[in-house]
Structure 1
Amino acid sequence: MDYIISVLSTYFDNADLTKWIVLGFAFLSAVAFTASIGILIYNLSNPLKQRLHTISGPDHAHRQSSGHKKIDKTLESIEKYVTPKSKTEQINTKQLLMHAGFEKTSALTSYYAIKIILTLIALICAVIATNFFPELTSQKVVVYTLLAVGTASFIPNIVLSKLAERRTKALRNAFPDALDLLVVASEAGLGFQAALNRVAKEIDSISPELSQELQLVCQKARIGISIPVGLNQFIERTGLSELQGLVSIITQSVKLGSSMGDTLREYAVEFRDRRMQKAEEEAAKIGTKMIFPLVTCIWPGFFAVAVGPAIVKVLDMFAGR
């Protein structure tokens, strides 16, 4: 804090004015951070709850839609200032946000706004923390501040990657069960679209995320989008690239008029085998992964118990001489 005040004092003659400027900047950063957290929680709201609020009454729905519009306008106004200029980075970030379940158009702006606010908060906290260590030199203060800022700007990337990975894994684990239900519904006489709609409703108790994605495919099919196109968009949103074979099989079955039930049954067996092979691969890695906790946690304690008494006796023997 004193270092920043000393730097700003070169531009302002009044020391009290400099302190008030720094405190004002810290206050504005805290307010912006709180607003960003509120926007994030708002974007994370459950779509089912939004639907229930809409059904509850026209007045409430009107107020909710007006609130949505105000927030969207605010995010649109700051979009050009917070989002990066690189189109490649924007596309990659949007893809990760979709895989994590954030499909709103304002999700990208909210994500980068949170990154900027966290960076500012980390900068202020680092400066305040270094104030309690007056023995630190100016170079160390700058280095620690840059480390704090870099860490704060990198944390959202890690969190987003973990969220996307966890959601994709949950969808991948639940999809074989959905395929089995789809086979049963197709063999019961339902068409593919009707069977998919029924599966989307039944799978909700097991995987709400997969249920929402399949319902979205059915909704797009109702407005005229073909099933293969809707499934390709489903793969793009979820990151389940291994389902590309399913789209090809369904397209081929529609063109040739072959049995959809037999085709889906064969693919369900193949997809389940892939999941089993993935589980076996992860199980084979356990032995290697256990080396690190064994070496760092268990072996030191074992040597302390097994070799410790002998070392104590040797030391006592030499001390006695």
Structure 2
Amino acid sequence: MLIEDDFASWIILGMVFVAVVLVVLALAPAILGRTNIKSRLASQGGSAASMDSMPGSIRADQGSTAWARLIAEIEKRGLSLPDTKRDQVAEKLMLAGWDQPYAPRAFVLARTAMTLGLPIFLLAFIALSGSWPAPGKLYMLLTGAAIFGLYLPNLIVQGKADRRKQEILNGFPDTLDLLLVCIEAGLGIDAAFNRVGQEIVSSHPLLAQLFANVSLELRAGRSREVALKTLARKSGLIEIGSFCTLIIQSDKLGASIAQALRVYASEMRESRRMRAEEKAHRIPVLLSIPLVCFMLPTMVSVLMLPAAIGMKGAMGTAESK
């Protein structure tokens, strides 16, 4: 009991030490006299402060969310949120649908908070319950909670990216058909992207957003090749990458885009049908697992119960004789 009390005292002292370190890091910019660059520009007559206050500006829109304000407040206190693999993290978040400028820093903040928060929450729960495990077991529990908190954001991002890719892939054949109809009706490829993006907002919102981005980039002056390559990169799908390559090559060689789209749309519909058939063929295999685990023991029990009752009755009659 004395050992457990000493160990609990060391844990509490460690938590106090961590809290003091965090407070010192938060107050370090004020102690060192570091000031915000934006405030210095404003005091010298700069326009950084006025730019953020302009209604409808891009910078004001980016800083209007709760995550952006939280990250800005944290970085104002000197706790920067860098990542050595910033480009890779930004790519993963973009594939999951989070393409905001502050998304990598928000991901680092969430991962750090979960890595530190889960062990502290577990430790607080054990302290409140009063049942302290052995030191080795407690160390393993806290380490496992920290590892789980470190990798949980990656799993969440990967799962969301997979669901987003599947949703985009399922709606892509219908989008190709609409694009083919627009091109055969006389629209150019640029206008067709804009028209199809407007038509599929309710049915396929993710694809509508991607097509709207292509249309905006074309209006902003980017070349069609760069806009289509950006579409392929943001979707993360091989099928859309092949589609963009098809459009680029047809445009460069002067081939008929409508004919190429007709063939490619037919292949995409066939691919979607094959995926549906594959899932349908997997159903019997998946159903066999609950059948074996739940229904087979019940059926065996029902079939064997009358025989067991009869054998017990026969044995009782033989013993009475």
**Alignment partners' CA distance in 1, 2:6 and 2:283:** 50
Per the alignment, in what secondary structure is the counterpart of residue 205 of structure 1? coil
Alignment partner of 1:102 is 2:102:
no
Supply the AA of the counterpart residue of 1:124.
Answer: I
Q: Retained in 2: the 8 A contact 1:176–1:271? A: yes
- Of 141, 152, 159, the match for 1:162: 159
Structure 1 residues 76, 239: CA separation in 2 closer, same or farther (over 3 Å shift)?
farther
CA distance in 2, matches of 1:23, 1:311: 67
In structure 2, do the counterparts of structure 1 residues 313 and 101 end up closer, same or farther at CA, with 3 Å as the change threshold?
farther
Whose radius of gyration is greater, 1 or 2?
2
Hey, what does 2:148 align to over in structure 1?
151
Say whether the 8 Å CA contact 1:174–1:207 is kept in structure 2.
yes
**1:220-263 deviations in Å (ceiling 9; x for gaps):** 11122222321221111111112232223212321232322222
Letter in 2 for 1:111: F
Give SS of 2:201's match.
helix
Q: 2:16 aligns with which of 11, 16, 21?
A: 21
Asked if 2 retains the 8 angstrom alpha-carbon contact of 1:196 and 1:218, the reply is yes
For residues 263-282 of structure 1, what are the structure 2 equivalents within 5 Å? 263-282=260-279
Residue 195 and residue 130 in structure 1: after superposition, are their counterparts in 2 closer, same or farther (change >3 A)?
A: same
Superposed CA RMSD? 3.5
d(CA) in 1 for partners of 2:77, 2:227: 32
Partner of 1:127: 123
Question: 2:189 matched to which residue of 1?
Answer: 192
Structure 1 residues 8 and 314: CA distance shift in structure 2, 3 A: same
The residue number in structure 1 matching 2:255 is 258
Q: Which amino acid aligns with 1:167?
A: R
1:146 offset after TM fit, Å? Answer: 1.8
- Whether 2:96 is the aligned partner of 1:93: answer no
Of 2, 7, 10 in structure 1, the residue corresponding to residue 10 of structure 2 is 7
Q: Do the aligned residues in 2 keep the contact of 1:5 with 1:22 (CA within 8 Å)? A: no
Counterparts in 2 of 1:196-275, with a 5 A limit?
196-275=193-272
- With CA pairs under 8 Å and 6+ residues apart, which has the higher RCO, 1 or 2? 1
| Residues 134/255 of structure 1: CA separation in 2 closer, same or farther (3 Å cut) | closer
User: Offset of 1:4 from its aligned partner?
Assistant: 5.8
Residue 137 of structure 2: aligned partner: 140
Paired residues of 1:76 and 1:106 also in contact (CA < 8 A): no
CA distance in 2, matches of 1:2, 1:124: 18
Residue range with higher mean Cα deviation, 279-288 or 59-68: 59-68
Change (3 A) 1:182 1:75: farther
Once residues 238 and 205 of structure 1 are traced to their aligned partners in structure 2, the CA distance between those partners, rounded to angstroms, is 19
Q: Counterpart of 2:186 in structure 1: which amino acid?
A: G
**Separation in 1 of the partners of 2:287 and 2:78?**
46
Separation in structure 2 between the aligned mates of residue 304 and residue 83 of structure 1, nearest angstrom = 62
Shift of the alpha carbon at 1:190? 0.6
Matches of 2:88 and 2:131, distance apart in 1:
43
TM-score, length-scaled by structure 1? 0.74
- 1:283-316 superposed Cα distances (whole Å, 9 cap, x missing partner): 2333333333333333333334333554566567
Q: Name the CA distance, whole Å, in 1 between partners of 2:270 and 2:251.
A: 25
The Cα offsets for residues 48-92 of structure 1, whole Å up to 9 and x where unpaired, read as: xxxxxxxxxx7576965664675564466699855543x3xx444
Secondary structure of the corresponding residue to residue 131 of structure 2 = coil
TM-score (norm 2): 0.74
Letter in 1 for 2:270: D
Amino acid across the alignment from 1:101: G
* 1:79-129 deviation per Cα after TM superposition (whole angstroms, max 9, x unaligned): 9855543x3xx4443222111100012111111211221222211122123
**Structure 2 unaligned spans of 5+:** 24-53
Equivalent residue, structure 1, for 2:44: none
